Amino acid sequence: MTTERPTPPLTGTERETLRGFLDFHRATMARKCEGLTDEQLGRRASPPSTLSLLGLLRHMCEVERTWFRMIVNREELPLVWSDSLDYQAAFDTTDADGASAFTAWRDEVEHARRIEAGIDSLDATFHQPRWDADVSLRLVLQHMIHEYARHNGHADLLREAVDGSTGP
């Protein structure tokens, strides 16, 4: 099954555009990871780096959880793969499997969409404790687009190294 990737709107409100680009990048990450075995997902293309497609998917799950549930929604939660806020733990895929990572990531994306939809304004602010600063929902959405775009570039290279696939 190939994930359908939405085309971001060419016209529309600021919020529609931000949502559109975020969903485009989410779908791109899914497409780069789907159709591979656990071994292929966990393959490191450039040792000693621990970077793998599975690690990227798990990392983005943590990023979704952190920004939308922990910061925007103020939920007191651990990370999915670390009780000590160790964001690098997501990249340790030694005993990880793709199905669990996809399920956790999709669950966090759905939480994020629900939380974002429930906020009236892009100007709403939330405290980001790591930065010791208040941030707007606008910044959160832009930051998420940035995170996905950056890591989708890594995913392009990793996928090509795994099976030669290039493109969308």
Where residue 4 falls among pLDDT bands split at 50, 70, 90? confident
Tokens describing residue 162: 């795994």
Mean pLDDT over 6-18 rounds to 94
Mean pLDDT over 105-134 rounds to 97
Q: What is the pTM of this model?
A: 0.94
Q: What is the pLDDT of residue 49?
A: 86
Distance, CA of 135 to CA of 150 (rounded, Å): 21
14-163: CATH topology: Four Helix Bundle (Hemerythrin (Met), subunit A) (1.20.120)
> Which range, of 48-52, 111-115, 134-138, 155-159, averages the lowest pLDDT?
48-52
Cis before 129? omega within 30: no
SS3 content of the chain, % helix, strand, coil (to 5): 60, 5, 40
Q: How far is CA 96 from CA 7, 17, 103, 122, in A?
A: 32, 34, 12, 36
Tokens describing residue 163: 């099976």
Residues 74-87 have pLDDT tens digits of 999 999 998 888 88
Residues 35-71 have pLDDT tens digits of 999 999 999 878 788 899 999 999 999 999 999 999 9
Q: What is the pLDDT of residue 3?
A: 79
Q: What is the pLDDT of residue 82?
A: 87
Q: What is the pLDDT of residue 48?
A: 84
Where residue 1 falls among pLDDT bands split at 50, 70, 90? low
